[in-house]
Every structure is written in C-alpha cells, then in structure tokens.
Amino acid sequence: MNDAVIAEVSGRVGIITVNRPDALNALTFDVVRAISQQFDTWRDDQSVHGVVITGAGDRAFAAGADITDLQGKRVAEMTDTGMQHWMTVIRESPLPSVAAVSGFALGGGFELALACDIRIATPASKFGFPETGLGIIPGAGGTQLLSRYAGISVANYHVLTGALMSAERAHQLGLVSELHDAADIRDAAIALVQAMSERGPLALRLAKRAIRSSADTSLAAGLELELLAQAALFGTAERDEGLAAFVGKRTPNF
C-alpha cells in the first residue's frame, strides 16, 4: 500500500481513500493496482464485509487517470494488465462496494466509481469522460459500463463530446443512488456498507454475481444462474437463521 492510497477499517467496513488531493486524486497505475490489491486482501479477511472508496478533500473523487503517468505508457502496458484489469478485480470482488463521490469523477475516476456496486455523491459533483479530447478513450470499462448502466445514447453523448454530467442528472439516470452534503458523504457511504454487512453474507455475494451476469448473458442463462444461486442458499445455515429470525421476531445473527 503506498501513501497515495489509505486503507482503514471501521466496524465491518473497509475504507479506501485516494490520497492525492494536490493532483485532484488523479489515478496512477500504482494507485489503482493498490486499490485492487486491497480488495483482494479484504476478500480473504472475514472481518471486512464491504468497502467504501472515496477521495481525499472535497474537490475530487478522482480527476481521471494521472495524465503524466499515462505519458510514459505505450502499447504493451495498455494491452496487458493495467487499469481495466484492476477495475475488473474491484467490480468482480465478492465484497459489496460504495463509491462516495465529492467533486470531480472524471475518466478513470468515473470508471472507478462505475466499478463499485453503488455510487453516492454530493450535489456539486461532476462526472465525465474527457478522454477523446486527449486522443484516447475511456479504457478501464467506461465505454462498456456507462452504456450498460445508463444506455448507449448517454454514453455516446458523454464520451464523444466530453460533456460533464451533473450529480442531479447522474441521480436521475440511476447512476447515483443518493445525494448527500459534502460533510456527510463519507459517513453515509459507511452507513450503507454497514447496513449491507448486516444482511446475509452469502446472499449478498450470490445476488451480486446474479445481477452482474445480467449484463452479459441471455435472459434464460441469467434466470438459470439466479435459480441455482437461490437453490444453493436454501441449503445454508444463513437461510435457516434469516427465516427463523423473521418468524421469531428478532434480528438475524449472520
């Protein structure tokens, strides 16, 4: 873990802060690699049940990939592992994740937010993909995820023009689930993950997988996966506890 990425644990919640406020939390390859490695570490750590990603300060969640870092990259680094690979590790992690966006979430910053399961933001936040103005494209999931989550027309508009998207618009589109004042956003994200962490942990993992599969399978295949995931849960102590707690009018203890 380098100084540009701070990892802390509060209760059952892992909190990752991109800590480069002077560069508007621009994401070097090392930063994104460190974030994905932290997800892997926490995946194996039974005490952490979900993750918040945020940026230091309130000017930016992350203003994109670090452009000076990108200047040193050529075809090989962009072809092999790199940003898209690490973002996929985050997106596919069994741990639920919430991006707490205060300020700019641009380029790789928008992609990092889209790699999380849920995004919350301050009303003044701005999302966007400036890449085509730099002679490149959003290459860490942006073209694929924005079109799947908000529609191809929305992706065309923002990727081809570079136009910024307001937090209000992102909220309307369902990209952002909640709006909070800057002073409250971090606590709101922690509360969301804490609330998820009190639900059935296997149910959360399988729900995440089933929902994710809807983006790249047929309806029939997705329904089959959902059916099998549900059937598997019916053989677990977690299901027994969840249903028994409801019937016994008590809080489940997962």
Q: Which residues are catalytic?
A: 65, 108, 111, 131
Measured from the CB atom, is 134 or 160 closer to ligand COA? 134
- Smallest gap from Cβ 87 to ligand COA, in A, equals 13
- Smallest gap from Cβ 106 to ligand COA, in A, equals 4
* 54 neighbors 7 (Cβ within 8 angstroms): no
> At residue 169, what is the residue type?
R
Q: With DSSP H G I counted as helix, E B as strand and the rest as coil, what are the percentages for the chain, rounded to 5?
A: 50, 15, 30
- Residue numbers at the binding site for ligand COA (CB under 6 A): 23-24, 26, 63-68, 104, 106-108, 130-131, 134
Tokens standing for residue 204: 């959360």
> What is the distance between the alpha carbons of residues 46 and 202, in angstroms, rounded to a whole number?
12
- Smallest gap from Cβ 45 to ligand COA, in A, equals 31
- Collapsed DSSP state (helix, strand, coil) of residue 125: coil
* 114 neighbors 142 (Cβ within 8 angstroms): yes
Backbone dihedral angles phi then psi of residue 97, each to the nearest 5 degrees:
-135, 150
Measured from the CB atom, is 21 or 222 closer to ligand COA? 21
Measured from the CB atom, is 50 or 130 closer to ligand COA? 130
Question: Of all residues in this chain, which one has the CB nearest to ligand COA in the complex?
Answer: 64
